[in-house]
Each structure stands twice: as structure tokens, then as C-alpha cells.
Amino acid sequence: MTKNVIKYVPNALSTVRIFLACAFPFAPEWLWLWLVLGSGFSDFLDGWVARRWQVQSWEGGLLDGVADKLFILCALTTFIAAGKFSAWWLPALLARDLLVASTAIYAVAIQSWESFKKMDARWSGKVATVGQFLLFLIVLIFPDIIWPALCGATLLSVGAACDYGWLFLQELRLRAEEKRSAS
């Protein structure tokens, strides 16, 4: 394959994950495991292809993040609707995602989108995503140990939220210092 064709593969894989997310709530329960595995594999593969063939872009990273968050939200709400665990876990499990979405909205509101764009993916966020996918697998394969998995995924999500929040605060401070020194 030429690099011209390969550059579309990561975004195509992220788009597949968006379709899997939209299908998840309507899929029969016996199919959930395959949707989780397909989504997790597409998440791994799109990043690997983008890095391997050096076709990363900010827009592609944004699409990947949106696809991840949409799949996670659809899977979590479907599990809650199916009675797999209580809805009160949702805010904590989505702490990182809620913080990143709030940060994006805030950045737009204060006309600081460039500060938000400087916030690259972090290892804490990647680990939190892996924790959420592991939670999904445990819910489906080992339902007797859901509670420890919920606690672990929650800790990873809250930790990533703190990491991203700290990073955004640093970007805002840097932006304020640049404005002061420019005036």
C-alpha cells in the first residue's frame, strides 16, 4: 500500500469504532463481547498504523478520542440499562472524559482553542482507556469481580482527569504569561 492510501486507514478505523458505539446499545447481549473486542482492536490498530506509517494528525487524534469516548459512553450506559452495575458509577468512570469535554468547551468560550490543541494524548489517558476496556471485558466475562474492576477503572479515570486538568492549567498559565509579556 502506498502512503497515500495508508493515511486514511487510522481515521477509517476510528470511524468504524463510532459505528460500533452506535450499534452497541441495540445489539443483542451475546454480541457485546465481540463489539468490545472489535472496538479495542480498532483503537490499538489505528494508533499503531498512524505511528508506524507516520500519518498522525491532530484531527485524526481528535477523531480517535471522540470514537473512544463515544464507545465508552455507549457501552457504560448499555451496561447500566442492562443492570450490570449502578448508574452512580458513571460520573466517576467518566471523570477524565467529562473533564476533557469541559476543558474543550471552556477553551472555545475563552477563545483559547490553541491551548486546548496543545494538550496531546497522555499516558494517563491511554491507561484509563485500557482500564475502561478491561472493565467491559470483566463485566462480560467475569461478572463476579465487577466491583474491584469498577474501582480500578474509576481510579484510573480520576487520575487521568487530574493529569489532564493539571496540563490544561499549565497551558492557561503559559498563555497568560505570553499575553503579559506581549503587552
Tens digits of residue pLDDT in 94-125: 998 898 888 888 888 887 777 677 677 789 99
HSE, CB side, 13 Å, CA atoms: give it for residue 138: 18
In this prediction, residue 183 has a pLDDT band, given cuts at 50, 70 and 90, of: confident
Quick check: 40 and 133 in contact, CB under 8 A? yes
- pTM of the full structure: 0.89
In this prediction, residue 59 has a pLDDT band, given cuts at 50, 70 and 90, of: confident
In this prediction, residue 134 has a pLDDT band, given cuts at 50, 70 and 90, of: very high
Q: What is the mean pLDDT of residues 161-171?
A: 89
pLDDT at position 150 over 70: yes
Separation between Cα atoms, residue 65 and residue 96, nearest integer Å: 12
